[in-house]
Structure 1
């Protein structure tokens, strides 16, 4: 039963009745929760990381393209500027990368950090990849490395208590800002 704290006897609150809670509705997250566009097998069918490179930078939220890997904003970010570095080749495990892919993944990660510092004043980063579904990979079939910018005090009550992330900027605007700050080759 949901209700507000009061000295009055507890009352049953029905559907749609007001209570003491503020709500932020994020229906766009249902696509992620329900696994929309997640590849289900070993092939490339339906893999968003395989289809993004064919889109324009703006439509695909691509920040930079290398020969082996590219950088793209995360559609479901933890913080503003949360991006991923992704190999073009459809593979699941870090050990499957060849030497050129491994080197360029590292290089674009460094450039992503520099761009995020220049564009948003990021003070730190969480960088990593989840290998396999049991390790938390949302799209386990296609390797991707997360670059999550951090700032002092950026963990607040919203994600901790409300299980909601507040992003101050539209993804298209974030993409343009970071792309403009991306270091030259």
Structure 2
């Protein structure tokens, strides 16, 4: 089970309005992540705006965005995040071989150069926080200033997501077994 009970999905008043905006972004339903966040409606609303922008207002190609998200999920042990994003990544063009690299089952040189640059940048931001100059230079060979900013925000945001999910055991194996 998650470490906290999930908030009710039938909120009313201002909190219900926030839940409705989240449902609208998601296409109708609330996820376990949303229901955990709704314990703090103001934070849930801010989260919804940030994630909506990262997912739908960015110019990053889907394979780039999802490679970063899936790698973060793998590095941080966020299984719920991996399960949610693997189909999106596949739809965005990631292959079985790409996913094997993200899980650490294959070497990064199996990736196309632009994806390998994203992987190295994501790894540095996630595991060391600081990014070595050579890693940044390789990224710059493939991406515009805007794309670098959007990738940096995406990596930072999904590290937040994964840490929230893991710390509160949202959508954990125990949670699924109890359902």
TM-score w.r.t. the length of structure 2 is 0.28
Please tell me whether Structure 1 or Structure 2 has the larger radius of gyration of its CA atoms.
1
More strand, by proportion: 1
- The one of the two structures with greater contact order (alpha-carbon pairs below 8 A, sep at least 6) is 2
